Structure 1
Amino acid sequence: MTERDDVKKLVERHWNNRAETFDDEVHHGIHGEDQRERWLSVLGERTGEPPQRVLDVGCGTGVVSLLLAGLGHDVTGVDVAPAMLEQAREKARRAGLSVAFQRGDAEGLGVQDDAVDLATARHLLWTLPDPEAAVEEWQRVVGPGGRLLLIEGYWDHPEPRDEYEAIHGDLPLYHGRPPGELREFLREAGLRDVEYEPLDDPVLWGREPRHDYYAIAGTVPR
């Protein structure tokens, strides 16, 4: 195994271990109709008329995937952690929503070129050893004229926890980035028309936001 493989194995283990309780935190899961409706509004304003073909990368327990499906989009969720995917499938079943969930690596998705109209990811870039490769890969599967929509933030973790104690130094975006910096990162990665908006409404997070959260989106060049 290469060093990067070791990092990815620890990332997978971390999220497998957190799968059963991940949604319990109010800023992770959906806790009430007001929070759900607010997220539907945020996503609906940024994803276009349904049905779009959407790939939700790093889908975790399927929070964003299910919201997108609820808006009428054709959604596939991808995650590296099997335990997260189990939670996502069960939530989709209970909600009566048709979402395809599959295991995959954000930096090498195993999806055909130009397969989707939109790729989404929420709080994913900080977990990746090669975020540049990931954004390149997402552009490949979205294809020319498609869009990337990321929910991101700048949190400056005070101390690494659990598996991240060993690997945080191998993750270039571990602390997130201020929106202006991430915009430049995405522009340098090839995206066009990159814009961002703050997501500071407490309803979205179930509490006053403790970090700088924002939505940032760009277009894959033709």
Structure 2
Amino acid sequence: MNDDTVAPLAPDIDHTPGIDWDAAAGAFDDEPDHGLRDPGTCAAWAARLRSWLPERPADVLDLGCGTGSLSLLAVEQGHRVTGVDSSPAMVERARAKLAGRDAVVLRGQADAPPVGGQRFDVVLVRHVLWTLPEPDRVLRHWRDLLRPGGRFVLVEGVWGTLHPVGIPAGRLTALLAPLSPDVRVERLSGDPVLWGKAVEDERYAVVATV
């Protein structure tokens, strides 16, 4: 790692700019919060997701879905999921993980998902928005993918000390203010079970209804 590369306090490969996602796909689920292999971590994410998603069965668009772990939790809670990821290797693993479920996984970019005229009840995005240029434009596009009364579920944070990367909760709520009359922030840093370790950086979820 050179001096120009951000070094997060608790390094996770989904916080590293410029990573080769196809090469990373094989080890992606080794991170506790990616593969959700630990029963406690899996249960913690399932509980959070249950509180963020609608109680009734909903159409969920999971952007930057990776290997599909959150998509799988959503399907297991009765939702219909469309996952999108730009990496063919990630898409392959997500499709295998979701095989036989009420889900489809597409290859495409998170900021321009290949869903045509389809509309959704939830746009679910974890640790992706901060990597995209013009997040205000991206959020407007994602809003147009939601049905009336739909919601954003955005899991984001800020990582690093000397050169922090990410998007602070205050900035994200400001970007959402013109799009949503109801924006709620849930702090996640204080729950080590979610991450498989204690974390000191800013991690949070925003749920915003449009």
TM-score by shorter chain over 0.5:
yes
Asked if 2 retains the 8 angstrom alpha-carbon contact of 1:113 and 1:143, the reply is no
Query: In the alignment, does 2:204 pair up with 1:198?
Result: no
SS of alignment partner, residue 19 of structure 1: helix
**Contact map agreement 2:66 2:90 (CA 8 A) in 1:** yes
Is the CA contact (8 Å cut-off) linking 1:154 and 1:211 kept in structure 2? Answer: yes
Is contact 1:114-1:140 (8 Å) kept? no
> How many positions carry a matched residue from both structures?
193
> TM-score normalised to the size of structure 2?
0.84
Runs ≥4 in structure 1, deviation > 6 angstroms?
Answer: none
CA drift of 1:179 comes to 1.3
Among candidates 128, 150, 172, match of residue 132 of structure 2: 128
Match of 2:198 among 183, 205, 208: 208
- Aligned position for 1:187: 177
Structure 1, unpaired ranges of 5+:
1-10, 160-173
Question: How much does 1:31 deviate?
Answer: 2.5
User: Is the CA contact (8 Å cut-off) linking 1:54 and 1:76 kept in structure 2?
Assistant: yes
Cα shift at 1:208: 0.6
Distance 1:48 1:182, change over 3 A: same
Query: How far has the Cα of 1:79 moved from its partner?
Result: 0.9
Are residues 123 and 17 of structure 1, via their aligned partners in 2, closer, same or farther at CA, if it must alter by over 3 Å? Answer: same
CA distance in 2, matches of 1:177, 1:110: 25
Indicate conservation of the 8 Å contact 1:79/1:104, yes or no.
Answer: yes
Q: Provide the secondary structure at the position in 1 that maps to 2:120.
A: coil
SS where residue 141 of structure 2 aligns? helix
Bigger mean CA offset, 63-72 vs 124-133: 124-133
Aligned partners of 2:131 and 2:166 also within 8 Å = no
Q: What's the CA shift string for 1:171-202, capped at 9, x where partnerless? A: xxx811221221112224x2221110111211
- Residues 79-90 of structure 1: pairs in structure 2 closer than 5 A: 79-90=85-96
Aligned 1:1-222 pairs, distance under 5 A = 14-93=20-99, 97-113=101-117, 115-156=119-160, 175-188=165-178, 190-199=179-188, 200-220=190-210
Question: 1:30 corresponds to which letter in structure 2?
Answer: L
* CA contact 2:60–2:82 (8 Å) conserved in 1: yes
Q: Which has the higher helix share?
A: 1
Larger mean CA deviation between 39-48 and 20-29 belongs to: 20-29
Choose 39-48 or 123-132, whichever is displaced more: 123-132
Q: Percent identity?
A: 41
